[in-house]
Amino acid sequence: MLKGRVAVITGSTSGIGEGIARILAKHGCSLMLNGFGETEAIENQRSELARISDAEVLYNGADLSHASQCIDLIRDAEGRLGRVDILINNAGLQYIAPIEDFPPDRWDYIMAVNLSASFHTIRKTLPLMRRSGWGRVINIASTHGLVASAGKAAYVAAKHGLIGLTKVVALETAGSGVTCNAICPGWVLTPLVQDQIDTKAASEEISNEEATRKLLSEKQPSGAFTTVEQIGSLALYLCTENASNITGAAIPMDGGWLAQ
């Protein structure tokens, strides 16, 4: 389905980004991976995805908290893979504290990675997409891009901003063959969420199973995590021609969270 296409996926060495990379690889897409991790593990992932896709899979370790490295990531993808058709901005991190206790350096870092990095990658990628007359920008936002939770000031602000950025890019590219959409997952069992479960279990002196149940029951009526495979499948659909008139959308995958 995506043979001949090239995708850049930030934060794709684990979690949601890795799941999206696997789905796109299964459909023949060439990939530029990005993220942190152990060198051997990343190389194993890269070589496995190359085998699955029967296409080129490369890696760039850009630190997306730096604008210059965001730009270098896109330049590297174009230089080594020849083009960029699909940009998936997935890299993100979390920090939880009341606003009065929120460390300013953590605010700055979260805003840089969760929001500003997407601005920098989109800004450098759009001219390439416009030149070819086709492109897909998919921003991995969050339910927290549409509603708030206490203690997550930087994350919520960044994800709300990311959805706003998505809408602006959609308007500016309308009719060009380029679309821009946001996927808004609820709870997904990634290392980021597992840390929150572990913290909840420890602070309330309960089992991890009970902490998981309580976490889901607070927000997600389905009682089940959204999976990385489900998110990857939606990203794949947004890359198809059937989705060519979907743009500027913020699509929840939240087990009914926003229906309450």
Q: Are 195 and 96 part of one and the same domain?
A: no
For residues 31 and 70, membership in a common domain is answered with yes
Catalytic residue positions? 155
Residues 219 and 116 in one domain: no
97 lies in the same domain as 77: yes
> Are residues 82 and 98 both part of a single domain?
yes
**Whole-number pLDDT of residue 181:** 99
- Residue 192, pLDDT above cutoff 90: no
Q: How many CB atoms lie within 10 A of CB 93?
A: 16
Same domain, 209 and 248: no
Is 1 within the bounds of a domain? no
Per DSSP, helices labelled H in the chain are: 15-26, 39-53, 67-81, 104-111, 117-132, 153-173, 191-204, 208-219, 228-238
Using pLDDT thresholds of 50, 70 and 90, give the confidence band for residue 195.
Answer: confident
pLDDT of residue 218: 86
Query: What angle, 0 to 180 degrees and rounded to 10, lies between the N-to-C axes of helices 67-81 and 117-132?
Result: 30
Average pLDDT, rounded, for the chain: 96
Same domain for 14 and 120, yes or no, is yes
Within a 13 Å sphere around the CA of 178, how many CA atoms are in the beta-carbon half? 27
Q: Which structural domain range is residue 134 located in? A: 6-186+226-259
Integer Cα distance of 149 and 229 in angstroms:
25
The per-residue pLDDT for 98 is 98
Number of domains in the chain: 2
SS (H, E, C) 62-112: CCCCCHHHHHHHHHHHHHHHCCCCEEEECCCCCCCECHHHCCHHHHHHHHH
The verdict on 87 and 130 lying in the same domain is: yes
Q: Does 35 fall in a domain?
A: yes
Q: How confident is the model at residue 215 (pLDDT cuts 50, 70, 90)?
A: confident
d(CA 238, CA 232): 10
Where does the pLDDT of residue 54 fall: very low under 50, low under 70, confident under 90, or very high at 90 and above? very high
User: Is there a single domain that holds both residue 145 and residue 196?
Assistant: no
Span 144-159, pLDDT tens digits: 999 999 999 999 999 9
pLDDT class of 194 with cuts at 50, 70, 90: confident
Domain CATH code at residue 178 = 3.40.50.720
